[in-house]
């Protein structure tokens, strides 16, 4: 049973560019959440997708957007990259039940130069 | 407001010592869920345990045990006879059923555990 997968593993971009990160959920899961983890900090919630719609959003600017596809996979897009966007981006999948455990992928390490 | 506090930033122990990682949470919800995750140097968050607010039973899984006390809003994690492989950053997280966070995870800042041989 495949777990949560993310691509790419690492990414280097320059300020002002745009980036797309991808996530495939664990089998049987229909909800995908994205988190940003800065160095030395705990993960911060970006947004959550269910039934191809953004169900909930954390305190992140509109430069951060996402999408969920009919097969439940998801993308995170970040426009106009800033140096401060450098972080580990984690995708988590779960069922729609709000208290369900979220299982995390290996993350994408984004470096903005 | 919802909040998770892990006051211990770093802990260093020698192998075979017992170690307890503290977690204190704040929420106004009566229904909520608590989690512990382990993050080894590879970066992936590994799920360890989930507890709901109505289940205060302590849990033991091998060398790991968890003490949930609603009276003190704490959910502490103990590793017995620690091993070098336990070295990682450990995160405590809170998820509310109906409150402002409604299902997303609120993480503490983590405790970095180093187990020396």
Residue A47 pLDDT exceeds 70: yes
- In the numeric block, the tokens 């969920």 are attached to A68
* Helix/strand/coil for B65: strand
Are A12 and A108 spatial neighbours (Cβ–Cβ below 8 Å)? no
pLDDT (tens digit per residue) in B45-76: 999 999 999 988 888 899 999 999 999 999 99
Q: What is the pLDDT of residue B23?
A: 98
pLDDT (tens digit per residue) in B1-40: 789 999 999 999 999 999 999 999 999 988 999 999 999 9
Chain B residues close to A56, C-beta within 8 Å: 102-104
- For β-strands A10-13 and A108-112, DSSP reports them as parallel
Residue B72: exposure state from Cβ atoms within 10 A (0-12, 13-18, ≥19): exposed
- Residue A72 makes CB contacts below 8 A (sequence gap 6+) with A24, A25, A29, A30, A32, A93
CA distance B89 to chain A (A): 10
The arithmetic mean of pLDDT across residues A72-101, rounded, is 94
Q: Is B102 on the interface with A (CB under 8 A)?
A: yes
Q: What is the pLDDT of residue B56?
A: 85
Q: Other CB atoms closer than 10 Å to residue B84's CB: what's the count?
A: 10
Sign of the CA dihedral B56, B25, B46, B77? Answer: negative
Q: Is B101 on the interface with A (CB under 8 A)?
A: yes
pLDDT (tens digit per residue) in B77-102: 999 999 999 999 999 999 988 766 56
Chain B residues close to A59, C-beta within 8 Å: none
Are A37 and A90 spatial neighbours (Cβ–Cβ below 8 Å)? yes
Chain A residues close to B33, C-beta within 8 Å: 99
pLDDT (tens digit per residue) in A89-105: 999 999 988 788 999 99
Residue A111 pLDDT exceeds 80: yes
């Amino acid at each position: 049973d495949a777990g949560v997968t993310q691509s790419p593993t690492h990414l280097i971009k320059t300020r002002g560019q745009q980036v797309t990160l991808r996530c495939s959920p664990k089998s049987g899961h229909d909800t995908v959440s994205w988190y940003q983890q800065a160095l030395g900090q705990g993960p911060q919630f970006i947004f959550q997708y269910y039934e191809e719609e953004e169900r909930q959003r954390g305190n992140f600017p509109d430069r951060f957007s996402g999408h969920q596809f009919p097969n439940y996979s998801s993308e995170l897009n970040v426009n106009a990259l800033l140096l401060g966007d450098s972080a580990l981006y984690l995708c988590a999948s779960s069922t729609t039940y709000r208290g369900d455990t979220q299982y995390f992928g290996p993350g994408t390490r984004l470096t903005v130069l | 407001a919802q909040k998770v506090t892990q006051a211990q930033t770093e802990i260093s122990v020698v192998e075979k010592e017992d170690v307890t990682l503290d977690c204190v949470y704040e929420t106004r919800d009566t229904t909520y869920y608590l989690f512990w995750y382990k993050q080894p140097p590879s970066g992936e968050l590994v799920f360890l345990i989930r507890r709901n607010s109505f289940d205060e039973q302590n849990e033991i899984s091998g060398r790991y045990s968890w003490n949930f006390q609603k009276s003190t809003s704490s959910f502490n994690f103990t590793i017995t006879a620690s091993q070098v492989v336990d070295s990682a950053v450990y995160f405590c997280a809170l998820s509310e059923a109906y409150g402002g966070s409604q299902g997303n995870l609120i993480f503490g800042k983590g405790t970095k555990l180093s187990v020396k041989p």
